[in-house]
């Protein structure tokens, strides 16, 4: 039972990490110092998608699910939890590149707004 709860906790952390990668720049609009953490995290998230790497949280969650007596799942976090909702056809290399471009584009737009806001103040 504890392993199942830990796996669920890792799942929540993983989902939060993805949200921070994509939308963390919005926090930087309010608290500019967040960008010191967010920019490297967003770059890492984009690199995971561009190079097809596996986030370390995925094997951790799978191992905890197996330890809990659950079957686990094939593939990665995005393939298993997000793509069935967003892209029912499954994860392809092209979709991963699109996700990486989306991360970079959204964050470039947000940081562009942060930069313009900062310039107006000075």
Query: DSSP labels for 46-110?
Result: HHHHHHT---THHHHHHHHHHHTT----SS-HIIIIIHHHH-TT---HHHHHHHHHHHHHHHHHH
User: Which range marks the domain in which residue 70 is found?
Assistant: 2-121
- Considering the chain, what is the average pLDDT of its residues? 83
Q: pLDDT per residue over 26-48, tens digit each?
A: 898 888 899 999 999 999 998 98
Q: Along the 122 residues of the chain, how does pLDDT read in single tens digits?
A: 799 889 888 888 988 998 899 889 889 888 889 999 999 999 999 898 888 888 898 889 889 988 988 876 666 666 666 656 544 466 677 877 888 898 899 889 988 988 888 788 87
pTM (two decimals): 0.68
What is the rounded distance in angstroms from the CA atom of residue 79 to the CA atom of residue 87? 9
Domains of the chain: total:
1
Residue 20, pLDDT score: 93
């Amino acid at each position: 039972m504890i392993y199942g709860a830990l796996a669920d906790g890792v799942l929540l952390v993983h989902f939060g990490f993805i949200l921070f990668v994509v939308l963390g720049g919005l926090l930087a609009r309010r608290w500019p110092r967040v960008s010191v953490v967010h920019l490297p995290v967003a770059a890492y998230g984009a690199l995971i998608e561009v190079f097809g790497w596996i986030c370390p949280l995925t094997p951790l969650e799978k191992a905890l699910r197996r330890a809990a007596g659950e079957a686990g799942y094939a593939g990665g976090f995005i393939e298993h939890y997000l793509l069935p909702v967003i892209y029912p056809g499954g994860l392809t290399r092209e979709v991963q590149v699109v996700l990486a471009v989306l991360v970079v584009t959204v964050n470039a737009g947000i940081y562009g707004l942060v930069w313009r806001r900062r310039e107006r103040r000075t």
